[in-house]
């Protein structure tokens, strides 16, 4: 009978990783007076950023690394979720049924934040979440308007 050897691994240090969900209502105020364009959230740690008077916003978390946002056709807004425990952005969505707008027909979400290889992770160096929502059909600079939608984000965090 052949000898059988077994390999035993040493004890590993593990950290519990959990998922957390965040939902927030984002309200975008459009105007043909470019200084009146603005964005709000119903949750204090969810901060939306939009182009106001042609100037790109500078997020409090500079690691958000947003691309050029626009207040023109298919306006976009950058969103930072100040959670300080983000490990991995799992999913971000704008449910179509949550959109309340005369012109916005959809929301396309892209992760930003730190870059890993060729891709953005959706998590900043400060462990906050960062993503962009492209608002299909919305032009914030065209006329006075109010549009709102919900964002639903799921992320992983370490319980240390």
Give tens-digit pLDDT for 32-68.
998 999 999 999 999 999 998 888 888 889 899 988 8
Domain for residue 98, yes or no?
A: yes
Domain for residue 4, yes or no?
A: no
Tokens 């179509």 -> residue:
96
**Cα atoms in the Cβ-side hemisphere of radius 13 Å centred on 59:** 30
- Nearest Cα neighbor of 63 from 116, 14, 104, 102 is 116
The answer, yes or no, to whether residue 141 has pLDDT greater than 60, is: yes
Domain for residue 131, yes or no?
A: yes
Phi, psi (rounded to 5 degrees) for 63: -80, 5
Q: How many domains does the chain divide into?
A: 1
* pLDDT score at 15: 66
Domain for residue 8, yes or no?
A: no
Percentage of the residues of the chain whose pLDDT score is greater than 90? 70
Sheet holding 76-81, edge to edge: 46-49, 76-81, 129-136, 106-111
Domain for residue 11, yes or no?
A: no
The answer, yes or no, to whether residue 149 has pLDDT greater than 70, is: yes
* pLDDT score at 118: 76
DSSP reduced 3-state for 115: strand
User: What is the pTM (predicted TM-score) of this model?
Assistant: 0.86
What domain range is 48 assigned to? 16-159
* pLDDT score at 119: 83
Domain for residue 9, yes or no?
A: no
Four-residue CA torsion sign, 128, 130, 158, 20: positive
pLDDT digit string (tens) for 104-140?
Answer: 999 999 999 888 777 889 999 999 999 999 999 999 9
pLDDT, mean over the chain:
88
Domain for residue 87, yes or no?
A: yes
């Amino acid at each position: 009978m052949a000898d059988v050897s077994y390999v035993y691994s040493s004890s590993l240090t593990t950290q519990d990783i959990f998922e957390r969900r965040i939902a927030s209502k984002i309200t975008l105020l459009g105007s043909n007076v470019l200084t009146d364009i603005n964005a709000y959230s119903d949750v204090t740690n969810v901060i939306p950023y939009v182009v106001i008077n042609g100037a790109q916003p500078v997020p409090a978390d500079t690691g958000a690394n947003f691309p050029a946002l626009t207040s023109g056709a298919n306006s976009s807004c950058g969103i930072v979720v100040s959670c300080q425990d983000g490990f991995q952005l799992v999913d971000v969505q704008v449910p179509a049924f949550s959109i309340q707008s005369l012109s916005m027909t959809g929301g396309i979400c892209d992760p930003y934040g730190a870059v890993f290889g060729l891709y953005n992770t959706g998590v900043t160096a400060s462990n906050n979440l960062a993503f962009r929502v492209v608002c299909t059909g919305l032009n914030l600079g065209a006329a006075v308007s109010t549009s709102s939608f919900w964002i639903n984000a799921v992320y992983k965090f370490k319980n240390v």
